[in-house]
Amino acid sequence: MDKSNKIPLYLQLIEEIKEKIENQTYHEHEKLPSERELCDRYELSRITVRQALQALEQEGYIYKLHGKGTFVSQRAFKQDLKRLYSFTDEMRKKNKNPQSNVLEFQEKSIDEKLMTATGLEEGETVYEVIRLRLADEEPLIYETSYIPQKFFPGLTKQRLIEKPMYEVFEEDYQRKVTRVEEDFSATSAGEQEAVYLKLAENQPVMLIKRFAYHQEQLIEYTISVARGDKFNYRVELT
């Protein structure tokens, strides 16, 4: 700690511990050094250390277990909304093992509700794909996608099992997602979503509706139910 710095010492300690958590010097659910050890290591008073730890706990970086000590929290995944992203790519960047389980795959004629949501025409056929998205085997998102058949003839469940959806779009059909719109709202988990996401029924979740375009043609409409305790979304306004 730099005691000549005008920044209060407890704030410096907060940033020091945050940095160690972010760079995984301290891993999820790892026990932190005790207050006394932190005092000795950084030559700080117990009041200063306690103030920093209380702030970190309030921000969700750490948690305490009575009689056992202080531990690193499991961090929510952060997603920057300023750029296009895919679940698979983002999890790989975070050193997580992404997994997509295709639960259902079927062809169906669009109904009035889908026509209203997507602007597709009556009589068109879509693939309805229900997937469970996981990271390190932990379920994070339950999603239902609607993909116009006319743009992806011959699409099969096996293709989506073998590689990520957007890779199938681009590599097999030469249709790259070039623009995305997303709507966010809060809702509660339904019975089926709760089972797959390992939540209590009616537990708060995030509802995300994604409209993905290739050269202004809608090629994917996805309704995602995401665990609100595992995701943070960020957007920068200028």
Query: What confidence score (pLDDT) does residue 75 get?
Result: 64
Q: Which CATH architecture has domain 9-72?
A: Orthogonal Bundle (1.10)
> pLDDT at position 27, please?
86
Instruction: List every span in the chain annotated with CATH 3.40.1410.10.
Output: 77-234
CATH 3.40.50.880 is the classification of domain 77-234: no
Instruction: Express each pLDDT in 193-219 by its tens digit.
Output: 999 999 988 888 889 899 999 988 999
Q: At what angle do helices 35-42 and 46-58 cross, to 10 degrees?
A: 120
Distance, in Å, from the CA atom of 198 to the CA atom of 221, rounded to the nearest integer, reads 25
Per-residue pLDDT, 80: 45
The pTM is what? 0.65
Other C-beta atoms lying within 10 Å of the C-beta of residue 209: 14
Residue range(s) of every CATH 1.10.10.10 domain in the chain: 9-72
Q: Which stretches of the chain score pLDDT less than 50?
A: 79-83, 237-238
Cβ distance 35 to 41 under 8 Å? Answer: no
* Sequence-distant contacts of 205-213: CB under 8 A, at least 24 apart: 206/231, 208/182, 208/183, 208/184, 209/117, 209/182, 209/183, 210/180, 210/181, 210/182, 211/118, 211/180, 211/181, 211/182, 212/177, 212/179, 212/180, 213/177, 213/178, 213/179, 213/180, 213/181
